[in-house]
Amino acid sequence: MRVVAAMSGGVDSAVAAALAVEAGHDVTGVHLALSPDRQQLRSGSRGCCSVEDSHDARRVADELGIPFYVWDLADRFREDVVEDFVAEYAAGRTPNPCLRCNEKIKFSAVLDRARALGFDAVVTGHHARLVDGELRRSVDAAKDQSYVLGVLTPQQLAHAVFPLGEMTKDRVRELAAERGYAVATKPDSHDICFIPDGDTRGFLTRRLGEQPGPVVDAATGATVGTHAGVHGFTVGQRRGLGVTAGDQRPRFVLGIEPVSRTVTIGTAEQAEVSEVVTAAPTWTGPVPELPFRGQVQVRAHGAAVPCEVTPADGGGLRITLGERQRGVAPGQSAVLYAPDALRGDRVLGQAAVSATA
């Protein structure tokens, strides 16, 4: 196949590109420039977006002897990912920008461009298995990234290649070291790539300004404090509430109401939910028949819990949780899995949380 290898400059995408070359594909390396004002050197915990990262990617491409180009997708990224992120927080929801980037950038803008230019597929360094069109968890449970790929459609998956799903992250680093890549020991990136200092609240405050409102304790109905903006909060959050409850028990964010700018807090028990209602889902494969039993995961690094999925109004899903969960926020993606201990849990699809109970 003629493939584009998306190369961030990290070890995963470097090894993915190398494995694609070694598998006999005709590979072209592409680094995505997602920010219009890129820093020269890497800073903080991001691992993809500086000029230094671009050079790291180019070094590997040159060693592989493959063409390498930088595609400027800064405008698309700003419109589809960053602005969406800000708008979601302003509306009191909690988005996952990595999911959004996979949906709108890597497997949409990049894939479309690659296909138009005559390529058959996009190769990435995601830790997930994709066999016969079925998307499954990586063998490395700790590094599994199937959650952020849960938004992909069968059409997108038909043109995606994930060479790393059958190996652990340690093995990826070994393969990089064997090939002499300097990125073999490059630290993992985490946090949100467009917020290099990791200060999401500060980033949102710079974008949205201070919008003070009340903090209301659901247990008493009393206003117990004020806050500088609902974008500083996410449902389930415990730290940084700036209030002390009279009963000395910890408080969690229960809900965010952006119009009245009210942040409601409550006890751990109140913060737990047993049911999730979603917007219309997307499916990675054939549309499953409802109702069905499976597992659901609501955060990139959360655990999956058993669930039953039934239809809800407006084409959405009602997901009844087998275990009560804390910190399920509107805007998050609920990714549905069919457990499979042998071949890896299969990703069925995802839907954005609209309400909880």
Partner 1 sequence: MTYLDHAATTPMLPVALAAMTEQLARVGNASSLHASGRQARRVAEQSREQLAAALGARPSEVLFTAGGTEGDNLAVKGLYWARRAADDRRRRIVTSPAEHHAVLDSVEWLEAHAGAQVTWLPVDPTGRVTPEALADALGDGSDVAVASVMWANNEIGAVSDVAALAAVAHAVGVPLHTDAVQAVGQLAVDFAASGVDALTLTGHKLGGPMGAGALLLRRDVECTPLLHGGGQERDVRSGTLDVAAIVGLAAAARAAVEDRVERTAQVAELRDRLVAGVLAEVPDAQLNGPALDDVVAGGPGRLPGNAHLSFPGAEGDALLMLLDARGIECSTGSACSAGVARPSHVLLATGADPARARSSLRMSLGHTSTDADVDAVLAVIAPVVERARRAGAR
Could you list the residues that contact partner 1 (CB under 8 A)? 28, 31, 33, 38, 40, 51, 54-55, 58, 67-72, 109, 112-113, 116-118
Catalytic residue among 49, 98, 193, 307: 193
298/147 Cα distance (integer angstroms)? 9
11 is in an annotated binding site: yes
Closer by beta carbon to partner 1, 17 or else 204: 17
54 is in an annotated binding site: no
- Shortest gap between Cβ of 108 and partner 1 (angstroms)? 9
Closer by beta carbon to partner 1, 68 or else 147: 68
- Shortest gap between Cβ of 144 and partner 1 (angstroms)? 31
9 is in an annotated binding site: yes
**Whether residue 196 has a cis bond before it, omega within 30° of 0:** no
32 is in an annotated binding site: yes
Catalytic residue among 48, 49, 98, 101: 101
Who's near 345: CB < 8 A, 6+ residues apart? 136, 137, 146, 295, 304, 337, 338, 339
- Shortest gap between Cβ of 313 and partner 1 (angstroms)? 35
6 is in an annotated binding site: yes
How many C-alpha atoms does 154 have within 13 Å on its Cβ side?
8
Note if 49 is an active site residue: no
35 is in an annotated binding site: no
* Structural contact between residues 183 and 176, judged by C-beta atoms closer than 8 angstroms: yes
- Shortest gap between Cβ of 18 and partner 1 (angstroms)? 20
159/228 Cα distance (integer angstroms)? 45
160/282 Cα distance (integer angstroms)? 17
Closer by beta carbon to partner 1, 20 or else 256: 20
Alpha helix segments (H runs only) across the chain: 11-22, 51-64, 74-77, 83-90, 97-101, 111-116, 146-149, 154-157, 169-178, 200-208, 268-271
138 is in an annotated binding site: no
Closer by beta carbon to partner 1, 24 or else 118: 118
Note if 307 is an active site residue: no
* Structural contact between residues 99 and 333, judged by C-beta atoms closer than 8 angstroms: yes
Q: Using DSSP, state whether 75 is helix, strand or coil.
A: helix
Among 190, 181, 185, 153, residue whose Cα is nearest residue 59: 181
Q: In the structure, how many helices (H) and strands (E) does the chain have? A: 11, 18
* Structural contact between residues 297 and 335, judged by C-beta atoms closer than 8 angstroms: yes
Q: Using DSSP, state whether 116 is helix, strand or coil.
A: helix
Closer by beta carbon to partner 1, 69 or else 292: 69
- Shortest gap between Cβ of 116 and partner 1 (angstroms)? 4
List the beta strands (DSSP E) in 193-291: 213-217, 223-227, 252-257, 262-266, 272-278, 282-283
Closer by beta carbon to partner 1, 54 or else 237: 54
- Shortest gap between Cβ of 23 and partner 1 (angstroms)? 19
**Residues acting as catalytic residues:** 101, 193
Annotated binding site for ATP: 6-13, 32, 125
Annotated binding site: 6-13, 32, 125
